[in-house]
Amino acid sequence: MRTRRGEFKLLMLTYLLTIAVFGNLAILKQPIDTGAIIMGAIIFVLVTYAYFIIRKFFPDGDKFILQFAAIFSVIGIAMIYRLKPAYAIRQVIWFTIGVTMFVLIIVILPNIKSFVKYKRIYMIITLIFMAMATFIGRDVYGAKNWVFIGGFGFQPSEIGKLFFVAYLAAALKDYKDFKNLIEPALVVMATLGFMVLQRDLGSALLFFGISITMLYIATSKAKYIVVCIILFAIGAFVSYKLFGHVRVRVDIWLNPWEDPTKKGFQLVQSLIAIASGGFLGTGLGMGHPGFVPVADSDFIFAAICEEFGVFVGFGIMIFYFLLFYRCMRISLFVEDKFTQLLVVGYSAMIATQALVIIGGVVGAIPLTGITLPLISKGGSSMFSIFFALGILQKASEGE
């Protein structure tokens, strides 16, 4: 009963947040911006419908996952609408696709453990998507991690990471000794190698975080983790020496104020935006987030902190932790090893991605160009996160 009350309270918070932010956006313009009202109404209906389906027909699973995802999406779409309304319309479309896919995975997908037999397929698809941008990718903000087909652009690594986790879960489930780790180690090294060649440092860090988390859960051997960290550090040092792009990122991180109008411009503007917002923020529509480069994607956290305040920024980080907690606890109640590792991998994927980009935006680690899950603009990112959450929700229903 307490859990049901908690679900209801969080659902009401989602509704209030939706009404507050999109109502605020509507009255910022004269006459009232009906587009913001329609956008809020669409989100309201989608969240209600998805929650009703899950609560009515699948009462045994975790009901907080969808609500956390909805809260992140509301904040992200509202901020994108504030910055670029046309992009927000696309984001709502992707949110609709994501929620629909989330529900379909729960309704249609059979028992998750039956998918363990496709290990070789997961490996092949992983390597294809990881390598794709290396050969046919296009440079965007210094990283060669986008592929454009016709008028449609996407990041192959966003799709590849889903199969990467599935492959590692299938490969590590039967761990007995070191010999079982040779093949997955080669796949991980190939993946990280492609990310370095594409100068996609954020994705490299993300895949490494996923790998060591799943490795430790599968083996319970701390010595493997230590070896992996040492090898990763050596690889990072070699990359620093070989690639000027890596050196620039590290130099900016160490001293962004040395060249605040050119090389350090992004990070400097991000820090200024966060500082100018203060604890409570300037108010939605009252700040200048447009001064921050790529404010609708890589630096959306800085834009949020400026107008909503550092208080909301901390709240977002806490909510990511709570989502990670809700997802990881599923693994405690799953008996099948493949499903358990899949849950751990997708949970680590979301948490690591959030930590890496927030750390870069606030200057805690070298800046990386990845999206803030469910908040940043990006269809492929929204798709991959909702797919992962759908698998997690299905796993929470029990085997």
pLDDT of 142 reads 66
Residue extents of the structural domains in the chain:
2-396
Cβ atoms of 353 and 164 within 8 Å: the answer is no
pLDDT of 1 reads 53
pLDDT of 348 reads 95
Please list the pLDDT of the chain residue by residue as tens digits (399 residues): 556 777 888 889 999 999 999 999 999 888 888 989 999 999 999 999 888 888 877 777 888 999 999 999 999 999 999 998 889 999 999 999 999 999 999 888 888 888 999 999 999 999 999 999 888 878 776 677 778 887 777 888 889 999 999 999 999 998 888 888 999 999 999 999 898 888 888 888 899 999 999 999 999 999 999 999 998 899 888 888 877 777 888 888 888 888 777 888 888 899 999 999 888 889 888 888 888 888 888 899 999 999 999 999 999 999 999 999 999 999 888 888 999 999 999 999 999 999 999 998 988 888 777 889 999 998 889 999 999 999 999 998 865
Question: Which amino acid, one-letter code, is at 147?
Answer: V
pLDDT of 199 reads 80
Q: What token pair was written down for 318?
A: 């806490």
Residue with tokens 């901020």: 79
Residues found in the chain = 399
Q: What token pair was written down for 292?
A: 């921050």
The dihedral sign for the CA sequence 395, 389, 49, 155: negative
pLDDT of 229 reads 92
In the DSSP assignment, the letter for residue 179 is G
Question: How far is the C-alpha of 392 from the C-alpha of 327, rounded, in Å?
Answer: 7
User: What angle do helix axes 310-331 and 64-83 make, rounded to 10 degrees?
Assistant: 150
pLDDT of 2 reads 59
Q: What is the pTM of this model?
A: 0.93
Q: Got the DSSP string for 195-242?
A: HHHTT-HHHHHHHHHHHHHHHHHHH--HHHHHHHHHHHHHHHHHHHHH
Question: How far is the C-alpha of 117 from the C-alpha of 322, rounded, in Å?
Answer: 32
pLDDT of 141 reads 67
pLDDT of 384 reads 93
pLDDT of 214 reads 95
